[in-house]
């Protein structure tokens, strides 16, 4: 957020300017910026330059680390973390995009600085604590700067800290991995629905969260659908969680993302609640399917494997349709595209696992070709119709 935007917000807060006039001023300045400001290639160049600068500093430090004394090492760490933020403050008014990039590099360097400080002073190793300190630094940066990269860092690091703490606490437990993956999937769905047509100064942050969720939803759904709960599937676990710890894990895995969804979306968070119920059902059905697969490893036929596989794929298709409906309801092209992609991936996975091995080689290849050509054309046609209907409705 630039200085004039902060001034504008303060004038609105003091009653010197109404919200409608402030919105018109923002629209005017944004339109002017689009005509004479920085375009995509310049922003990309600034971002790459910042990354290369950070990489060169880190490589220089790594190359000369052994020859530097402990005091000089610590001073170097402080300079590396604080130097980027100081340079960003100097150029903030004249080159805001560069300042934002340098602040982001400074926050990224904080993680390396925390790790190096622990090595310098031989601190007790507890790597989730380092992630917590890094997340607190990113959160402080977001509180002060209100820059989207700082919020993006915090949105990644805060769940990473919780996940790492839970991973250590539940190491060797079968249910622990299920709680972790399902919680991350519910959080990814919360991020994916963060935008939801919101307006105002937080809109760029919500869009960044939406992009983060878009990249994580399908991979995490694949992990939950394939692996399920290890204990329910028959894997031997070194130890089991206590009832209290397991209940706390389930509550945090589903409760924290839903609370965040309510903060971001208010009444519209009901969509997230149904999505969380789908995630829980997917985890339980996946456990039954893996158990059926393992039942056939000893040469005996797996009990009910086909029926459970159909239930699993049907649930995946239902989730994809729900994502499409969610996107249609809130005019989100990304959610519609992600739902269509998930549905197509479900169809392809079903063909490879349940149909292809029952045909001879030529028929299976013919079916594969028809699936990709005809199926791809039908799915793309349906996607375009959905987007056209969504555009007409909006």
Average pLDDT score, the chain? 80
Distances (CA, A) of 27 to 14, 33, 200, 201: 21, 10, 11, 12
Q: What is the mean pLDDT of residues 174-196?
A: 89
* Residue 200 pLDDT level (bands cut at 50, 70, 90): very low
Predicted confidence (pLDDT) at residue 16 exceeds the cutoff of 60: yes
CA distance 362 to 371: 14
Predicted confidence (pLDDT) at residue 191 exceeds the cutoff of 90: yes
105: Cβ contacts below 8 Å, ≥ 6 apart: 50, 51, 53, 54, 84
* Residue 227 pLDDT level (bands cut at 50, 70, 90): confident
Predicted confidence (pLDDT) at residue 132 exceeds the cutoff of 90: yes
State residue 370's pLDDT score: 84
* 160 or 17, higher pLDDT: 160
Residue 45 CB burial class (10 angstroms; 0-12, 13-18, ≥19) = exposed
Predicted confidence (pLDDT) at residue 229 exceeds the cutoff of 80: no
Predicted confidence (pLDDT) at residue 215 exceeds the cutoff of 70: yes
Q: What is the pLDDT of residues 302-332, one digit of tens each?
A: 454 566 778 889 999 999 999 999 999 888 8
* Residue 43 pLDDT level (bands cut at 50, 70, 90): low
Rounded to two decimals, what is the model's pTM? Answer: 0.78
Predicted confidence (pLDDT) at residue 201 exceeds the cutoff of 50: no
State residue 299's pLDDT score: 45
Which 3 state secondary structure label does DSSP give 85? Answer: helix
Predicted confidence (pLDDT) at residue 251 exceeds the cutoff of 80: yes
HSE value, Cβ hemisphere, 13 Å, CA-based, for 56: 6
* 325 or 376, higher pLDDT: 325
State residue 162's pLDDT score: 94
* 25 or 157, higher pLDDT: 157
Predicted confidence (pLDDT) at residue 187 exceeds the cutoff of 60: yes
Distances (CA, A) of 64 to 59, 84, 190: 9, 20, 44
State residue 231's pLDDT score: 43
CA angle 9, 12, 13 (to 5 degrees): 85
Predicted confidence (pLDDT) at residue 349 exceeds the cutoff of 60: yes
Predicted confidence (pLDDT) at residue 65 exceeds the cutoff of 80: no
State residue 36's pLDDT score: 43
State residue 317's pLDDT score: 94
User: Which range scores top for mean pLDDT: 67-71, 81-85, 151-155?
Assistant: 151-155
Backbone angles phi, psi at 360, to 5 degrees: -75, 175
- Written as six digits, the tokens of 382 are 């349906």
* Residue 298 pLDDT level (bands cut at 50, 70, 90): very low
Q: What is the mean pLDDT of residues 367-383?
A: 86
* Residue 294 pLDDT level (bands cut at 50, 70, 90): very low
State residue 316's pLDDT score: 92
Predicted confidence (pLDDT) at residue 196 exceeds the cutoff of 80: no
Please provide the distance, in angstroms rounded to a whole number, between the alpha carbons at the two ends of the chain: 30
Q: What is the mean pLDDT of residues 292-298?
A: 46
Per the rule left: phi > 0, alpha: psi between -120 and 50, beta: everything else, 299 is left
* Residue 373 pLDDT level (bands cut at 50, 70, 90): confident
């Amino acid at each position: 957020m630039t200085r004039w935007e902060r001034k504008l917000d303060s004038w609105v807060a003091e009653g010197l300017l109404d919200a409608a006039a402030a919105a018109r001023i923002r629209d005017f300045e944004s339109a002017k910026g689009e005509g004479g400001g920085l375009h995509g290639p310049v922003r990309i160049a600034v971002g790459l330059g910042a990354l290369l600068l950070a990489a060169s500093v880190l490589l220089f430090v790594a190359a000369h680390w052994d020859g530097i004394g402990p005091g000089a090492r610590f001073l170097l760490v402080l300079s590396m973390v604080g130097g980027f933020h100081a340079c960003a403050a100097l150029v903030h008014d004249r080159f805001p995009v560069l300042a934002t990039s340098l602040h982001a590099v400074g926050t990224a360097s904080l993680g390396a600085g925390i790790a190096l400080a622990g090595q310098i002073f031989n601190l007790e190793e507890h790597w989730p604590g380092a992630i917590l300190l890094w997340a607190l630094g990113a959160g402080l940066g977001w509180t002060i700067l209100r820059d989207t990269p700082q919020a993006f860092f915090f949105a990644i690091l805060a769940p990473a800290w919780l996940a790492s703490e839970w991973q250590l606490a539940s190491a060797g437990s079968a249910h622990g991995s299920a709680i972790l993956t399902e919680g991350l999937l519910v959080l990814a769905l919360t991020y994916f629905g963060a935008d939801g047509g919101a307006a105002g100064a937080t809109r760029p942050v919500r869009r960044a969260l939406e992009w983060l969720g878009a990249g994580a939803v399908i991979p995490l759904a694949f992990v939950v659908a394939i692996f399920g709960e290890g204990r329910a599937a028959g894997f031997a676990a070194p130890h089991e969680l206590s009832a209290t710890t397991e209940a706390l894990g389930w509550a945090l895995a589903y409760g924290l993302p839903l609370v965040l969804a309510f903060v971001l979306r208010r009444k519209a968070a009901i969509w997230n609640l149904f999505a969380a119920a789908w995630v829980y059902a997917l985890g339980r059905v996946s456990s039954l399917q893996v158990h059926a697969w393992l039942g056939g490893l000893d040469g005996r036929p797996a009990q009910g494997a086909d029926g459970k596989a159909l239930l699993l794929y049907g649930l995946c298709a239902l989730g994809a349709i729900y994502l499409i409906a969610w996107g249609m309801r809130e005019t989100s092209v990304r959610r519609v595209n992600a739902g269509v992609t998930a549905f197509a991936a479900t169809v392809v996975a079903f063909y490879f696992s349940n149909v292809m091995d029952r045909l001879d080689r030529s028929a299976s290849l013919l079916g594969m070709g028809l699936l990709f050509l005809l199926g791809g054309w039908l799915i793309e046609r349906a996607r375009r119709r959905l987007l056209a209907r969504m555009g007409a409705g909006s």
